[in-house]
């Protein structure tokens, strides 16, 4: 079950000169873009940042903010391009390196993300986000021990950081140290009971214990806090499958796929849905390819072989 990683978005805010010169005009476009962000009009924000960049193609704050908007809209190639343009002027810009590393991860460019993480950990070893990024990259590369080391280094800098605690717990979940993961999640919950990822990961641990009703309740708490998260919908769909609510499950799985068509865990769950419906050919359409490409994905081998016997 894929977990959505925490993405930190920090906006650059400009100040305006009183005189009506080119500098103040591009600054006004920047602030108009920021106002659009507050209204959750991300496309409108991009238009104003682009207006500012038409006046000054090297305007760092406009490039960075436009990159953030592209990232939030999952237009990752455009986001990476804007971040890279900023870095041409300052190769060690901390926030831009961090955000580009996250965008690379979401774009499946893990080794490029790893390079940005290495730059951050060597140049900014005092910053927890340097090790946070390094941990995320290591997790995606299935280097779980390296991920734990990175998150631990971050936690030495920020012992009460919920992002680090939750993502370390995720690695412990992957290596089936469920009790240790639960302990970290309880610690994170005491710090911030409004962090949706905590409840989602608790739900995943409960699922491993075959506590399906508890898992469903927990992921619904996660969805109350973050109702647009495709991975939470996918997990809820899986739990509903195991509780026999097949149609409710399909609705959640389809919602997840609509939001993130590349989520292979949702495609797996749709194959499992068709297995439970007794529709062998449809189930195999989803499960066969996953079994051939990622046979170690949890539940894939089990349901592929069960489907073959239908």
**Distance from C-alpha of 196 to C-alpha of 217, rounded to nearest angstrom:** 13
Q: What is the pLDDT of residues 58-117, one digit of tens each?
A: 999 999 999 999 999 989 999 999 999 999 999 999 999 999 999 999 999 999 999 999
Q: What is the pLDDT of residues 220-263, one digit of tens each?
A: 999 999 999 999 999 999 999 999 999 999 999 999 999 988 88
- Look up residue 284 and give its DSSP letter: H
**Distance from C-alpha of 168 to C-alpha of 40, rounded to nearest angstrom:** 31
CATH at 42:
1.25.40.10
Q: Is residue 167 part of a domain?
A: no
Q: Is residue 68 part of a domain?
A: yes
Average pLDDT, the chain: 92
Percent of the chain with pLDDT over 90: 89
- CB contact at 8 A, 29 and 48: yes
DSSP 7-49: -----------SS-SHHHHHHHHHHHHHHHHHTT-HHHHHHHH
Percent of the chain with pLDDT over 70: 93
- Report, in angstroms and rounded to the nearest whole number, the Rg of the chain calculated over CA atoms: 21
The SS3 of residue 40 is: coil
Other CB atoms within a 10 A radius of the CB of residue 13 amount to 10
Q: Is residue 276 part of a domain?
A: yes
Of the candidates 90, 115, 137, which is a domain's last residue? Answer: 90
Of the candidates 90, 111, 130, which is a domain's last residue? Answer: 90
For the range 155-160, what are the long-range contacts, defined as Cβ-Cβ under 8 Å and sequence gap of 24 or more? 155/128, 157/126, 157/127, 157/128, 157/131, 158/128, 160/191
Q: How confident is the model at residue 266, as a pLDDT? A: 96
Compute the residue count for the chain. Answer: 310
What is the maximum alpha-carbon separation in the chain?
Answer: 77
Q: How confident is the model at residue 283, as a pLDDT? A: 97
Q: How confident is the model at residue 260, as a pLDDT? A: 87
Q: Is residue 47 part of a domain?
A: yes
- Look up residue 15 and give its DSSP letter: -
Q: List, in order, residues 6 or more apart from 105 with CB less than 8 Å away.
A: 5, 113, 136, 137, 140
Burial 130-168 (b: 16+ CB within 10 A, else e): bbbbbbbbbbbeebbebbbebbebbbebbeebbbbbbbb
Of the candidates 75, 90, 105, which is a domain's last residue? Answer: 90
**Distance from C-alpha of 28 to C-alpha of 19, rounded to nearest angstrom:** 12
pTM, 2 dp: 0.86
Q: Is residue 303 part of a domain?
A: yes
Q: Is residue 29 part of a domain?
A: yes
- Structure tokens, 94: 């901390």
- Structure tokens, 239: 């739990």
Provide the domain count of the chain: 2
Range of the structural domain that residue 79 is part of:
22-90
């Amino acid at each position: 079950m894929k977990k959505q990683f925490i993405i930190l978005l920090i906006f650059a805010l400009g100040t305006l000169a009183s005189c009506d010169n080119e500098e103040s005009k591009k600054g006004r476009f920047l602030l108009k873009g920021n106002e659009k962000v507050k209204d959750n009009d991300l496309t409108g924000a991009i238009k104003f940042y682009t207006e500012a960049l038409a006046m000054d193609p090297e305007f760092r704050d406009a490039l960075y903010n436009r990159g953030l908007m592209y990232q939030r809209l999952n237009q990752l190639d455009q986001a990476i391009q804007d971040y890279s343009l900023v870095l041409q002027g300052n190769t060690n810009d901390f926030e831009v390196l961090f955000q580009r590393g996250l965008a690379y991860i979401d774009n499946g460019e893990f080794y490029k993300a790893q390079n940005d993480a290495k730059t951050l950990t060597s140049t900014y070893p005092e910053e927890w986000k340097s090790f946070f990024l390094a941990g995320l990259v290591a997790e995606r590369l299935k280097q779980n021990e390296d991920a734990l080391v990175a998150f631990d280094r971050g936690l030495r800098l920020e012992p009460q950081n919920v992002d680090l605690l939750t993502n370390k717990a995720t690695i412990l979940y992957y290596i089936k140290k469920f009790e240790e993961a639960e302990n970290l999640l309880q610690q994170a919950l005491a710090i911030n009971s409004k962090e949706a990822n905590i409840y989602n990961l608790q739900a995943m641990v409960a699922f491993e214990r075959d506590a399906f009703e508890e898992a469903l309740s927990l992921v619904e708490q996660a969805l109350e806090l973050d109702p647009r998260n495709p991975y939470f919908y996918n997990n809820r769909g899986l739990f509903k499958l195991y509780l026999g609510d097949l149609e409710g499950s399909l609705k959640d799985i389809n919602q997840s796929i609509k939001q993130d068509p590349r989520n292979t865990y949702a495609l797996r769950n749709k194959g499992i849905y068709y297995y439970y419906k007794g529709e062998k050919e449809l189930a195999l359409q989803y499960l066969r390819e996953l079994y051939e490409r990622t046979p170690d994905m949890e539940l894939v081998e089990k349901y592929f072989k069960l489907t073959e016997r239908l």
